[in-house]
Amino acid sequence: MSGPLQLRALRGATTAAANTCEAIDAAVAELVAELVERNGLEGERVVSVTFSVTADLDACFPAAIARRRQGWEQVALLDCQQMAVAGDLPRCIRLLAHAWMEPQRPACHPYLREASRLRPDRAS
């Protein structure tokens, strides 16, 4: 690690295959894993994550899924409902994370599954 860390904001999104705990669990676990891997994050560097979900997802809380991740015991997690807009992507889970990162490292914002249509410039 070189120099002081910077507090950075990271975005990301994915979609769940269905409004079930299993489908939401799979989508959130994949999104969080990609966020951590692509940004080289360690648990103690992640400060907070806010999840928002579209109104058609109410089977479980994404934060409860993220809370099970090893090293995330001290991460502040919050769930909220995404603003309803006509034509929005169905079964969408978005996140906004704050983490300490090395200043020279570019932030990577994972947009997975059908959510890759929201930000094609950030989808991979």
- CATH number of the domain that residue 48 is part of: 3.30.1330.40
Q: What is the mean pLDDT of residues 59-80?
A: 96
* 97: amino acid identity, one letter: A
Least Cα distance to 33 among 59, 70, 5, 7 occurs for: 70
pLDDT tens figures, 31-54: 999 999 999 998 789 999 999 999
Q: What is the pTM (predicted TM-score) of this model?
A: 0.93
What is the per-residue pLDDT across 5-28, written as a single tens digit (0 to 9) for each?
Answer: 999 999 999 999 999 999 999 999
Domain count of the fold of the chain: 1
Residue 123 lies in a domain: no
Domain membership flag for residue 122: no
The answer to whether position 66 is within a domain reads: yes
Which residue segment(s) compose the domain that 66 sits in? 6-117
Which of 14, 22, 27 has its CA nearest to residue 89? 14
